[in-house]
Amino acid sequence: MKKLLKTLQILSVLLLSTNANANFLMDLFEKELDLYSDSKTTRYSKRDVPVIRVALIGYGTTSTKEDLERIAPKLVEKFSIATAGEIELDVKHVDSYDFLDYKLGKLSLEGINDRERLKRISYSYDKRVVERITKEAYKAMKANTEKKVMKEVDLMLLVTGAQFEGLGIQHGRFAIVEHPREIAFELPNGNRVEYLSDEAIVSELIHEVGHSMGLMHAAAQCNTVDCCEQSENADDIMSYCRDRKKVEHNDFMFVFEQCHLNFIREKFKPILLEGGSIDLSKAPECL
C-alpha cells in the first residue's frame, strides 16, 4: 500500500509539472460533469450560454413518451418566464419507461386490487425510496439511451408513479415529481388516484430544478395562513405558501420572485457559465 501511495504521489507531481498536463487533468475532470458520468452530485461543466441541459423522463408513470413530448415545450417556455430569461432549459432527450423487472411481493391493501396501483404504492414502504427510484430510473435510461446523449445532460427531470413522502424532491442530478399520486391509500373507503395536469407537472418540475440551482424554500418560516399573507415571498415558486391549484389555469404561473432572481443572476448564473458545484448551505433566505 505504501509503495502504491508513493507511486501515485510521483505521478501527481509529474502530471502537474507542466501547464499542458495540468490542463489535461482539468479537461478530464470537466468531462465527468454530466449525467452519464456522475448522477449523484449537482455539478455543472463550463459553458458559453446559461442553459441547463435536461432529459425529461417518465418512470413507472401513466405519462407516456408522447405526453412528455407535449409537456417539454411548455416546460421550456415557462422556465424561461420563471427565471426572467436569466437561465434557459434545453430538453435534450424525452422518454418513458416501465418499472424495471418489478416483483410486487405480498403487498395487500383493502379496496385496491389494481396491480399497477399496488406497484406504485409499494415504493412508499421503502426507507430508501428516493435512492431506489433514482437508481432504477438511471439504470433504465442507461439501458435505453446512447451514451453520447446522456453525456450532454446536466439533470434528469423525472416524472414517476413511485410513491414517496412529498409531492416532489431534488436528489443529486434528479428533479423528481410524483405523478400520478396515490391519496389515502391505506384507507379502504377513502383512497383515490390524483392525476396532475400538464401545467401542474411543469410547475412542480420548475420548483425542483430551483433546488438544483442552489435554492431552498421561500417563506420557509411560515406554517400558518396569516404568516403566508404577510410574507413577501409567499407566491415564489419555491414557497409552500403558494396555492398550487392556481396553475391549473393556462394563463397563471408562479415564478422566482426578486429575492431568488437576484441569487440566480448573481450567484448561480456564474457557476453555470464557469462550471462548479451547488452548495445548498449557501442558499439565500427569502422569507
Amino acid letter, residue 41 = T
The pLDDT tens digits of the residues spanning 155-193 come to 999 999 999 999 999 999 999 999 999 999 999 888 999
The pLDDT tens digits of the residues spanning 80-113 come to 999 999 999 999 999 999 998 777 777 889 889 9
Q: Give the H/E segment covering residue 78.
A: helix 65-82
CATH number for the domain harbouring residue 201: 3.40.390.10
Q: Is residue 61 part of a domain?
A: yes
Q: Is residue 153 part of a domain?
A: yes
The pLDDT tens digits of the residues spanning 19-51 come to 444 444 344 444 467 898 888 889 999 999 999
Q: How confident is the model at residue 270 (pLDDT cuts 50, 70, 90)?
A: very high
Task: From residue 231, give the alpha-carbon distance in Å to each of 172, 225, 242, 279, 285.
Answer: 30, 10, 11, 25, 12
Q: Is residue 143 part of a domain?
A: yes
The confidence score (pLDDT) of residue 11 equals 52
Please determine, for residue 194, whether its predicted confidence score (pLDDT) is greater than 50.
yes
**DSSP of 213-252, one letter per residue?**
TT---BTTT--SHHHHHH-TTTTBTTBTTS-GGGGGSTT-
Q: Is residue 25 part of a domain?
A: no
Inter-axis angle of helices 2-15 and 19-30, nearest 10: 110
Neighbours of 181 (CB within 10 A): 16
Beta strands in 144-202 (DSSP E): 155-160, 168-171, 174-178, 181-183, 192-194
Instruction: Give the closest residue to 176 by CA, choosing from 185, 186, 188, 166.
Output: 166
Distance of CA 70 to the CA centre of its chain: 19
User: Phi, psi (5° rounding) for residue 117?
Assistant: -65, -45
Number of structural domains (the chain) is 1
Cell of 84: 426572467
Please determine, for residue 148, whether its predicted confidence score (pLDDT) is greater than 80.
yes
Please determine, for residue 6, whether its predicted confidence score (pLDDT) is greater than 70.
no
- Determine which of 11-15, 144-148, 182-186, 255-259 has the lowest per-residue pLDDT on average: 11-15
Give the percent of the chain with pLDDT over 90.
77
Over the chain, what is the mean pLDDT? Answer: 89
Q: How confident is the model at residue 67 (pLDDT cuts 50, 70, 90)?
A: very high
Q: Is residue 6 part of a domain?
A: no
Task: Average the pLDDT over 65-90 and give the result.
Answer: 98
Task: Average the pLDDT over 229-251 and give the result.
Answer: 92
Q: Is residue 20 part of a domain?
A: no
Q: Is residue 223 part of a domain?
A: yes
The confidence score (pLDDT) of residue 4 equals 53
pTM over 0.75: yes
Look up the domain containing 196 and give its range. Answer: 33-282
Q: Is residue 23 part of a domain?
A: no
